[in-house]
A and B are shown apart, each in its own frame.
Chain A
Amino acid sequence: MRHGREKMKKIQLPSSEEVIRDLRVGDEVGISGVMITARDAAHKYMTEQDALEVREIIKNGMIYHCGPIVARDGDQWRFVAAGPTTSKREEPYEAGIIERYGVRAIIGKGGMGEKTLEACGKHGAVYLHAIGGLAVILAKSVRRVVDVHKLEEFGVPEAMWVIEVENFPAVVTMDSHGKSLHAEILDKSSRRLAELSASM
């Protein structure tokens, strides 16, 4: 990430299957365009109902697992702190949402499971990892809060915020070719743990 803005791949939203299929685990991306935030309550909602208010935005678009701190300046909302939240809580929902809404990328932290990886391969999507706790820097890449849905019902962290980002930094850790950095690290660390255990 640090070495080389030049090798960072720029992605403009809405994206396309072709652009997303071209991404590989390890690629660094800078995303620009309009996306939504969604976490637990929103995923349940998008699964159980037809979320018409966000359908157009996430088709060929992205979902960011994030529960931000948002400030109100007059009649405008402003993102103050907005790092990613743990993605694996959405594992039961995500594959279905990718398929149903035509989502091209999930942004979050910690990676996701096999069902999501499979959906990425089948429908042409990727998982993008943002750095956890990078709240100030990521909030700065949010140029504008376009809209918000379910604010009353879900509360600030859980609402679906429609945001316009510019050069939002993330790394591909699960691609549409069946590769997952998280599975690799899990496997590697599991073998090391067995070694340590055996020598104790």
Chain B
Amino acid sequence: MDEKLNQRFLELVRLAACELAPDVEHALAAARDAEEGRARSTLDWMLKNAAEGGHNSLPICQDTGTLIFYVDHSPDILTAEIERAACEAVAEATRRSYLRPNAVDPISGKNSGDNIGRGSPYFHFNQTVGHEQLRVRLMLKGGGSENCGIQYSLPDGSLHAGRDLQGVKRCILDSAFRAQGFGCAPGTLGVGVGGDRGSSYIESKEQLFRSQGEPNPDKELDALERELTEKINSLGIGPMGFGGKTTVLGVKIGLRHRLPACYFVTISYMCWAYRRRSMTIKGDEVVYA
């Protein structure tokens, strides 16, 4: 790995910010075709905007969000080297206006100006086998949709939600109702069930790396995802909360073993401008998806 790695990361960031993931574009187009009136025209505007961003290398949304990197790497590649290349690329991408400067010190209120700061970007490393192999997945998670995320602790008396599947359903329905159009609907819900408070949120984010058409490998969860998608779409919130049949494109659910004392249901809301891309490097070869 060498100087080329910076350039490769820069391309990954540009791609993520400016070109909507193809599976999401498909799902939005299918939703548009099934809608009418304002819901249809709103989805049409979204698709037009995504196309313009892609053609002109312009960020499809000005909130380029939190940069979340998931890195699978062979043992010969140093994580420090990856972090350095990624951070340099992120700073350069900010100079080139692919990214908005989005890292703000919570106390002083000062914006770092280049997206580099404490815990920013966010990295998750996973060491794999092989030689000179690297897979990087990048998600840009906007702030408006992030504010729609919520964590429930079961039992929840106000929702009549107990520590069972029905309780989980009630939480997920409630989160979609609370989000209304605020998260830039149609959204996709990433759900973590179980874990501790932190890992439950991480699970909910990791679910958002799954593609739209991809069924849940667990049959029961797959059925649950379909059922909840249908129920949420019957709420009539619609694109941007203007009303319509498309409130979410999908629901993605993952489980983690919980403590006997804890039962968390955690939802992360991803906006329609669902930006995630990956790059796979093997030796000299690089593939973006």
Q: Known interface pairs A185-B242, A192-B236. Does A110 touch B182 (Cβ–Cβ under 8 Å)?
A: yes
* Interface footprint category on B: 35 or more
Say yes or no for A19: interface residue by CB 8 A criterion: no
Q: B86 within 8 Å of A by Cβ?
A: no
With known contacts A69-B97, A136-B52, A185-B241, A192–B235 Cβ distance under 8 A: yes
CB distance from B145 to the nearest CB of A (A): 9
Point out the residues of chain B lying under 8 angstroms from A134, CB to CB: 45-46, 49
| The residue from B99, B236, B272 contacting A185, defined by CB atoms under 8 A apart | B236
Within 8 A of A (CB), among B177-221: 177, 180-182, 184
- A195, chain B: closest CB distance, angstroms: 9
Task: Determine the chain B residues whose CB is within 8 A of the CB of A133 once the complex forms.
Answer: 46, 49, 60-61, 142, 184, 271-273
- Interface stretch, picked from B66-74, B119-127, B165-173, B252-260, is B165-173
Given the contacts A1-B45, A85-B144, A157-B100, A197 and B61 also touching, CB distance less than 8 Å: no
Contact at B236–A189, with CB atoms within 8 Å?
yes
Interface pair A81/B236, CB less than 8 Å apart: no
Give A158 Cβ to nearest chain B Cβ, in Å: 8
Encode contact with B along A146-184: 1 for CB under 8 Å, 0 otherwise: 000000000111100000000001010100000001100
Q: Is the CB of A200 within 8 A of B170?
A: yes
Residue of A nearest to B48 (CB): A137
Q: How far is the CA of A158 from the CA of B156 in the complex (A)?
A: 38
- Return chain B residues, CB-CB under 8 Å to A85: 63, 144
Interface 9-mer from B2-10, B34-42, B130-138, B281-289: B34-42
Q: Given A171-B242, A182-B180, is A189 in contact with B237 using a C-beta cutoff of 8 Å?
A: yes
Please state if B60 and A135 are interface contacts (CB–CB under 8 Å): yes
Judge whether A109 and B184 touch: CB under 8 Å: yes
> What class of interface size applies to chain A in its complex with B?
35 or more
Contact pick for B59, options A135, A185, A197, CB 8 Å: A135
Whether B110 lies near A193 (C-beta < 8 A) is no
Question: Which of B53, B101, B170 is in CB contact (< 8 Å) with A197?
Answer: B170
B64 at the interface (CB under 8 A from A): yes
Which chain B residues border A139 with CB–CB below 8 Å?
58, 62
Tell me the dominant secondary structure on chain A's binding face.
Answer: mixed
Q: Which A residues from 73 to 128 make CB contacts under 8 A with B?
A: 80-83, 85-86, 88, 109-111
Mask, A31-75, CB within 8 Å of B = 1, is: 000000000010000000000000000000000001111110000
Q: Are A66 and B62 in contact (CB under 8 A)?
A: yes
Chain B residues near A140 (CB-CB < 8 A): 52
A86 adjacent to B58 (CB under 8 Å): no
Task: Say whether, besides A86-B182, A156-B100, A157-B100, A69 and B237 are in contact (CB < 8 Å).
Answer: no
- Whole-angstrom CA separation of A109 from B242 in the bound complex: 11
Tell me whether B144 and A2 are in contact (CB under 8 A).
no
Chain A residues with CB under 8 A of B237: 185, 189
Chain B residues with CB below 8 A from A197, complex form: 160, 170, 173
Contact of A186 among B147, B169, B180 (CB under 8 A): B180
Residue of A nearest to B144 (CB): A86
Residues of chain B contacted by A193 (CB below 8 angstroms): 173-174, 177, 235
Interface core residue of A110, A171, A200 (most chain B CB under 10 Å)? A110
Considering the chains assembled together, what is the distance between the CA atoms of A129 and B238 in angstroms?
A: 14
| Known pairs A132-B271, A185-B180; A110 contacts B241 (CB<8 A) | yes
Distance between Cα atoms of A140 and B51 in the complex (Å):
14
Kindly list chain A residues whose C-beta atoms are within 8 Å of the C-beta of B142: 133
Taking a contact as CB atoms closer than 8 A, the residue among A67, A80, A181, A189 that contacts B97 in the complex is A80
Q: Contact at A109–B240, with CB atoms within 8 Å?
A: yes
Contact status of A71 and B273, CB under 8 A, knowing A81-B61, A136-B52, A185-B243: no
Give the interface centre of B46, B61, B231 by most chain A CB atoms within 10 Å. Answer: B61
6 interchain pairs (CB within 8 A)?
Answer: A3-B41, A81-B58, A132-B181, A133-B61, A158-B111, A197-B173
A-side residues, CB < 8 A to B, are 1-3, 41, 66-71, 80-83, 85-86, 88, 109-111, 129, 131-137, 139-140, 155-158, 169, 171, 173, 181-182, 185-186, 188-190, 192-193, 196-197, 200
**Interface of B toward A, CB cutoff 8 Å:** 38, 40-42, 44-46, 48-49, 52-53, 56, 58-64, 97, 99-102, 104, 109-111, 113, 142, 144, 147, 160, 166, 169-170, 173-174, 177, 180-182, 184, 231, 234-238, 240-243, 271-273
